[in-house]
Copies of this chain bind each other. A is one copy, B any other.
Amino acid sequence: MSVKTGSLTAGLIVIGNEILSGRTLDANTQFVAQKLSGRGIALAEVRVVPDIEAKIVKAVNEVRAEVDYVFTTGGIGPTHDDITAASIAKAFGVKLHADPHARKVMEEHYGRTDLSEPRLKMAMIPVGAKLIPNPVSGAPGFSMENVHVMAGVPKIMQAMLENILPLLKEGPPILSHTVTCSLRESEIAEKLSALQDKYSDIDIGSYPQYRSGPNSLSLVLKSTRPERLKEATAELVEIIKSLGDEATPG
């Protein structure tokens, strides 16, 4: 997908033992993927890593070398298991410092007298980073070069992402058409493969839905080129008809 549909790519690093233990279902990936896609940026890789500095550093440095933008979620709170800021500093070979802007933002949110030591930990930001506003709970995220560090709590992450998006380059919109039919995958596989060969610039995916009965098949076409997409979709509808079935959009 990243190869065919996106001129801009992103990676997401989900930091959190709670996802790896199965305690929490990660819904941030889907939100980030959809929002980026809407800006013409294709999510090319996601990694979920534990709250272990060496693992975070490795993931950040490997992924940021391969994509245009990296996003991280989780680990920026006030407790001992929040080690993302320190890990990002290490990944970039810079120090953490008490960022005066972060402190000011937090004074405004909590009041000066309520700035306890743990809260001040959330103002410890890698040297050279720019803050990402947090309208929900005060403590900011930050951007270090192409790495954007966000909270893990979905509501806060979503607000931070909305603040980052306007600052990113925009790719050509990734357009998507979905056609649903009641064929089995094996019935349409050969003709679908031929269609993919013909439209090599279009990303064609085949997704059977077992929840809604064994024979509900969604075929998804993605491209940044509206005319080609229209053409390929029309051909797909004809293929489905030729196999004795009916195509439903969406």
Contacts and interface: CB of A to CB of B under 8 A. Distances in A.
Interface of A: 1-3, 14, 17-27, 29-35, 37, 42-52, 55, 77-82, 116-119, 121, 136-137, 153-156, 174, 176, 185-190, 192-193, 196, 203-208, 210-211, 214, 220, 222
The 8 residue pairs across chains A and B that have the minimum distance between CB atoms: A22-B33, A118-B189, A22-B34, A46-B48, A80-B193, A79-B206, A118-B186, A1-B17
Contacts of A153: 208, 210
A22 B37 contact: yes
A36 to B, nearest CB: 8
A197 to B, nearest CB: 8
Contact of A47 (B33, B45, B119): B45
Report the copy number of this chain in the oligomer: 2
A31 B20 contact: no
A56 to B, nearest CB: 11
A52 B48 CA distance: 20
Contacts of A77: 185, 206, 208
Given A77-B206, A119-B186, 12 more contacts: A17-B203, A18-B205, A19-B30, A21-B220, A22-B31, A22-B32, A23-B176, A26-B26, A77-B208, A80-B192, A82-B206, A116-B187
Contacts of A2: 20, 50, 52
A224 to B, nearest CB: 13
28 contacts: A1-B21, A19-B30, A21-B33, A21-B174, A22-B30, A22-B31, A22-B37, A23-B220, A24-B207, A25-B27, A26-B26, A45-B47, A77-B206, A79-B188, A79-B189, A79-B193, A79-B206, A80-B193, A80-B196, A80-B206, A81-B196, A81-B205, A81-B206, A117-B190, A118-B187, A118-B189, A137-B210, A156-B210
